[in-house]
Amino acid sequence: MTLQSSSSPHMAIVVTDASIKKDIATSISHIHIRDHPLTKTVHHAVYITSTKVELFAIRYGINQACGKNNISKIIVVTGSIHAVKKIFNSKSHLYQLHTTAILQELRRFFTKDQNNSIEFWECPSRLNWRLHQVVDKDSKSFNPQPIFSSRISWDYCAKIDSDNIISQWKMTFQASDGKGKHFLNLVNDNYEDIEPSYIKGGLWF
């Protein structure tokens, strides 16, 4: 089926995979047209679920395939068909950012020509299929290293980055012309100014 599909210049095969190691997610997307690799992309993200990183890889692959001229059929090959099902589940609120972007891209793709089509194929790693095996190997070959060589904790790296953001926020607020004009006085139980802090996932006050 792959050989027959890849012989057409109007068909794009998108092969995706993802892995998480030491809280670092790696997503990879390879696009093939006429059995030749056309685009290879690698992205990294920290503190993200496996489903989200799989959806991102699929989202990026579809985006790149739709951007190619004269493509009328897209075949997405992934080892995580459960992530694909999230695209068409309107109740999956945790994944709406990616699913909405994918559906918008597909809407434009189908609007170009009502005969355009897309298929999703599942290919588990254990099958060792050539095209997916390459992507799977690349996704697992990334060896993350801490930003600070003297520390082994990514949490420490995140703390340094967050502290820098908080310091910049405090300096910006102190120099703001709007300070004291359009803000409430935010104090804690000891009548001390409340400062932003952080948790995994973002800042909070």
Whether 46 and 158 have beta carbons less than 8 Å apart is answered as yes
Q: Are residues 37 and 126 in the same domain?
A: yes
Residue 120: domain span:
2-141
pLDDT above 70 as % of the chain: 70
Q: Are residues 129 and 160 in the same domain?
A: no
Q: Are residues 99 and 120 in the same domain?
A: yes
On whether residue 76 sits in a domain, the answer given is: yes
Q: Are residues 75 and 102 in the same domain?
A: yes
Amino acid of residue 103: L
Q: Are residues 73 and 25 in the same domain?
A: yes
Query: Higher model confidence: residue 147 or residue 35?
Result: 35
Query: Higher model confidence: residue 145 or residue 72?
Result: 72
Query: In 3-state terms, what secondary structure has residue 82?
Result: helix
Q: Is the pLDDT of residue 205 over 50?
A: no
CA 185, chain centre distance (Å): 38
pTM of the model: 0.64
Query: Higher model confidence: residue 38 or residue 6?
Result: 38
On whether residue 41 sits in a domain, the answer given is: yes
Across 9-23, 50-64, 159-173, which has the greatest mean pLDDT? 50-64
- What is the rounded average pLDDT of the residues 90-99? 79
Q: Is the pLDDT of residue 98 over 80?
A: yes
Q: Give me the number of domains the chain comprises.
A: 2
Q: What is the mean pLDDT of the chain?
A: 78
Q: Are residues 124 and 185 in the same domain?
A: no
pLDDT of the residue at 44: 81
Strand 11-21 relative to strand 73-78, pairing: parallel
pLDDT of the residue at 203: 46
Q: Is the pLDDT of residue 186 over 80?
A: no
pLDDT of the residue at 150: 47
Domain of residue 66, CATH code: 3.30.420.10
pLDDT digits (tens, 9 = 90+) for 114-157: 999 999 989 887 888 878 888 888 888 877 665 554 444 555 66
Helix then strand then coil, % of the chain, to nearest 5: 40, 25, 35
Q: Are residues 137 and 161 in the same domain?
A: no
Q: Are residues 137 and 179 in the same domain?
A: no
- What is the rounded average pLDDT of the residues 101-120? 93
- CA-to-CA dists, residue 2 to 8, 74, 130, 138, 165, angstroms: 11, 12, 11, 21, 49
Q: Are residues 110 and 164 in the same domain?
A: no
